[in-house]
Structure formats: C-alpha cells, structure tokens
Amino acid sequence: MKIAIGADHGGYTLKDVIVPYLESLGHEIEDLGCDCSQSVDYPDYALPVAERVASGQADRGILICGTGIGMSIAANKVAGIRCALVHDLFSAQATREHNDTNVLAMGERVIGPGVAQEIVRIWLETPFSGGERHVGRLDKVNQIEAQYSRS
C-alpha cells in the first residue's frame, strides 16, 4: 500500500517512529514533512497528504500533530477525504469498518508510540465492511459534500 504521511512540529517525532514501522510492514511511504520542532502551520502538511489520497496518488494518508484535531479538520476540507481522529484501538477498527476512512489523524501529545503503532496497524489491516447501512450512510455524506463543494 502507498501511504502519504505528514506532520507538523507537534507531531514530527511520532511521525519519525511511524514511518519506519510502516516500512517494516512492507508499505511504500511518501513522507511530506515536517522534520523540525520549529512552529509550522498544520494545514501546509495536511493538504498535500489529503490531495495525494483524493487523487489516487496514495492509497491512504496519515497525519500527526499535537492533538490530531487541526490536521483532521484541514484534511476533511478536501473532497473525497474521510479523515478520522483516532486515539484508541476500537475506533481505529470501527472507523475503517463503518466509515471507510482513507486518512488517519493522531495526536503525539495524546498517545504514545506503542499505541500509535497499534492504531496504525489495525487501521491499515481492517477492511470496510461494505454493509448496506454503512454504504447508505456514506452515500449521504457524499451528497452533503457535493452540495457544499465549491467549483
């Protein structure tokens, strides 16, 4: 799987743990930064990851900031993105099974590296259930997105 990953200054340390972990699982990684502790703007890193996933240049995306909140808000502004902020194992599984999420957001200041790695593994390995009720709900989400998209 090709995975685009990005972080701001609040998440780059965890990103530097997750990238080699993803590579050890056999995934192709596109690291879109940042690699510093100096303050940067999270939308500048969320957007390229979201764009790559939305365009099909990457299969999935992972975003990390201090809390994951800003990254998830920014990524979800891109049409076709279903980004979930996840800090527990149950949500990692449920967001794939029920919501077919294609971008994962996490907060470095919220969880440790061991939990983050397990979240990533579960999120990558869990397929979308394809259940009728979930497909119907995603269709409604897509209708909302289409209604409010600016062309």
Which residues are part of the catalytic machinery? 65, 98
Name the token pair of 46.
């969320």
Name the token pair of 13.
């340390």
Can you tell me whether residue 34 is helix, strand or coil? Answer: coil
Residues 43, 135 contacting (CB under 8 angstroms): no
Residues 85 and 63: their CA atoms lie apart, in Å, by 9
Return left, alpha or beta for 100; rule: phi > 0 is left, psi -120 to 50 is alpha, else beta: left
Residues 80 and 77: their CA atoms lie apart, in Å, by 9
Helices (H), 63-131: 69-75, 89-97, 113-125
